[in-house]
Amino acid sequence: MGGVQDLISHTRTITHGFRLIVAIAMAAGAELLASPLIAQASMTFTTQATNWRILTVPQYHQQHGLSCEASALGMTLAAFGINVAEDTLLSQIGIDYRQPTWDASGAMHWGDPYAAFVGNPNGSEIGLTGYGVYYPRIAAVAQADGATVAQAGEGIAPSTIYQAVMAGHPVIAWTTFDWIYHRVSHYVAFDGRTVQFGSPYEHAVVVRA
């Protein structure tokens, strides 16, 4: 599971924090989710950038097989002097260890990644014993730990991510581990929310360049 790309904020000495953009991308930052439910392969983005920068962000190995979101958040926070252990971040995010179930029609139901980490962080996406968590909990924990979140959501334009990096703001992005486009499926979570499901390729990263 995935990673984030971080940017250093020039305003942090004024705000005593940093500004973070949390976006969901399904194809290496080129194809974004059009809505919480649909990813379109035709949604491509091309830029002819004349400027670039690389932000200083520490690189940590994630501590669990599926804890990329917490790892990415930890790196982003550490870039601005907020040091929180990955397991502490997972505890703050919250973990729903329940396993998926299937109803009479064969439809799967599982936890809500918009509300907590779904499954076991040491589990398997292929084996459906673990999955991950989406932006609302990452943004909430970032704020709770002292960060300023500039924007959080799905369908954030790649141009916005580029501009944020150029302005020195960190971006946490959900993408695919193999950096190619995959269609998402969906399930209805135990709480009734329809969830877009990126298994087994969903990954979170820190964008720093």
User: d(Cα 141, Cα 74) in Å, to the nearest integer?
Assistant: 10
**Which pLDDT tens digits describe the chain residue by residue (209 residues)?**
433 333 322 222 222 334 555 653 322 232 332 222 222 223 344 445 567 888 888 999 999 999 999 999 999 999 889 999 999 999 999 999 999 999 999 999 999 999 999 999 999 999 999 999 999 999 999 999 999 888 888 888 888 888 888 888 878 999 998 888 888 899 999 999 999 999 999 999 998 77
Strands 194-197 vs 19-27: parallel, antiparallel or unpaired: unpaired
CATH (domain of 147) = 3.90.70
Q: Give the number of other Cβ atoms within 10 Å of residue 120's Cβ.
A: 18
Q: Among 180, 173, 182, 181, which Cα is nearest to 203's?
A: 173
How many domains, the chain?
Answer: 1
Q: What is the structure's pLDDT at 51?
A: 79
Q: What is the pLDDT, as a whole number, of residue 21?
A: 54
Q: How far is CA 45 from CA 20, 24, 29, 92, 157, in A?
A: 22, 15, 9, 35, 9
181-185 contacts, C-beta under 8 A, 24 or more apart? 181/26, 181/27, 181/30, 181/31, 181/39, 181/41, 182/26, 182/27, 183/39, 183/41, 184/26, 184/33, 184/38, 184/39
Q: What is the pLDDT of residue 169?
A: 80
Instruction: Name the residue with tokens 């990955």.
Output: 86
Token pair of 7 as six digits: 């940017």
Tell me how far apart the alpha carbons of residues 146 and 50 are, in angstroms, rounded to a whole number.
33
Give the model's pLDDT for residue 165: 82
State which residues form the domain around 81: 4-207
